[in-house]
Structure 1
Amino acid sequence: MLAHRRGLAACCVAVAALATLRTVAPPPPPVVETWVAARDLPAGTALTASDVELAAYAVGTVPDGVVAAPAGRRLASPLRRGEPVTDARVLGPDLLEGYPGRTAVPVRVPDATVVDLVRVGDTVDLVSADPSTGRAATVARDAPVVALPPDPEGVSGQVASGRVVVVALAPDDVDDVTVAAVQQFLTVVWSR
């Protein structure tokens, strides 16, 4: 026992020093778990549980727009292994979600002021006017507005006249509205 007392004393001092360091050391920083790509993924991938994994990020370092539940979402652009899944990397909900059996059709309404009154979710009728005959006809009824995209500037820097409205049409109305959009002027009307 006497022969080993120096070794025992050294071990006791080492254990005491480690215990002191552990009690004095600051706690680990708080982390947030975020979904990241488990491997390189190409654009268009429909994410499954095996495509993503949780990674710990220090609070304040998580990118904006992280997707809380990425499984089932489709990638709009490629994603590298370890890259967080954000709203900028996945496609938004389908335009026709909630409108089964309908077709999304963009139509240009010449009067942009009329389109300023329209909101996504409104139900409108589409009326075409033939400038050569002066006749008007309703080409679609009860069409939900599913999008109001901003008009980009043209190549020459001029904005095309009117605004685009994307409506969810019944299959029987698609042909009539498409022809009217090309040959005549369309406008939206609200009715009850």
Structure 2
Amino acid sequence: MTTTRPAGAASTDERTPGLQGALGAVLGRARWRRGLLLRRAGALALLLLAAVLAVRPSASDAVEVVVAARDLAPGRVIAPGDLTVRTWPSDVVPSGAVATGVAEGRVLAGALRAGEPVTDLRLAGPALAAAAAGVPDAAGVPVRLADADVAALLSPGTRVDVVTAAPAGGAPTVLAAAAVVLTVLEPGAGPAGSSTRGRLALVALPRDLATRVAAASLSDQVAVTLR
């Protein structure tokens, strides 16, 4: 028996190619979108990697820096155990950072927190004296403080006048005006036996005045007055 197909109706064989084509198009678009997402994710990962590499210093840019191993008070004579070495990126190392051998045995002019780098301006010496006095030829001069109460009033940056004791019936002599205190040494930080003769204050002066004060302190009693 012959089956009559209605006019305009498509056979299954005729519909199949159309369905396959539509399904293929859908799958093709899905693969294309998936590939696009993968390419974008790969590009983003490469950008992130490049940013990390740009920010992180290379091994050749890392340097060793001397830092405080513990909190240190001003006036302390630095001992080997007070320091340690850390590796820092070279672009964040402060200018004037010193080596271990330079810092040991020096007097610390300002307090240091643990992990803080040691620089030349934290150590009593020519660089700090020049910066404090404002003249390139400045020098640090030790002044013996017989009165412990006066030592307690002094701190780095304090300005004082250095005077000699008044002779009988006379007035004291001002050896140097407006000297800048660099630091006051801790008790017992000076030479052996010095703790019984008062604490030492280091003051910054132009070199000619520094020489005058140093010479006077050898024979005369020297004191400071706060400005």
TM-score by length of 1: 0.52
Choose from 186, 189, 192 the match for 2:225.
189
Shift, 1:151, TM fit: 2.7
Deviations 1:139-162 (A, max 9, x none): 000111111121326657x83321
Partner of 2:159: 123
Identical-residue share of aligned pairs (%): 25
Shift, 1:92, TM fit: 4.5
Query: In structure 2, do the counterparts of structure 1 residues 131 and 65 end up closer, same or farther at CA, with 3 Å as the change threshold?
Result: farther
Q: Structure 2 counterpart of 1:123, which letter?
A: R
TM alignment of 1:58-97, pairs within 5 A: 69-70=92-93, 72=95, 73-77=97-101, 87=116, 90-93=118-121, 94-96=127-129, 97=131
Q: 8 Å contact 2:94–2:119 — kept in the other structure?
A: no
Deviations 1:63-107 (A, max 9, x none): x995673264121239xxxxxxx547x445242234333211111
TM alignment of 1:16-165, pairs within 5 A: 52=63, 69-70=92-93, 72=95, 73-77=97-101, 87=116, 90-93=118-121, 94-96=127-129, 97-98=131-132, 99-101=134-136, 102-129=138-165, 136-152=172-188, 155=192, 159-165=195-201
Q: Distance in 1 between matches of 2:145 and 2:213?
A: 12
Q: Structure 1 counterpart of 2:174, which letter?
A: T
Deviations 1:144-189 (A, max 9, x none): 1111121326657x83321111111122312221122111111111
Q: 8 Å contact 2:141–2:202 — kept in the other structure?
A: yes
Gaps of 5+ in 1: 1-32, 39-48, 54-63, 79-85
Q: Distance in 2 between matches of 1:120 and 1:34?
A: 38
Counting strand residues as a fraction of each chain, which structure ranks higher?
Answer: 1
Gaps of 5+ in 2: 1-54, 65-83, 103-114, 122-126
Partner of 1:57: none
Q: Distance in 1 between matches of 2:151 and 2:94?
A: 36
Shift, 1:132, TM fit: 7.5
Q: Structure 1 counterpart of 2:151, which letter?
A: V
Quick check: which has more Rg, 1 or 2? 2
Q: Distance in 1 between matches of 2:175 and 2:56?
A: 49
Query: In structure 2, do the counterparts of structure 1 residues 133 and 50 end up closer, same or farther at CA, with 3 Å as the change threshold?
Result: farther
Counting helix residues as a fraction of each chain, which structure ranks higher?
Answer: 2
TM-score by length of 2: 0.45
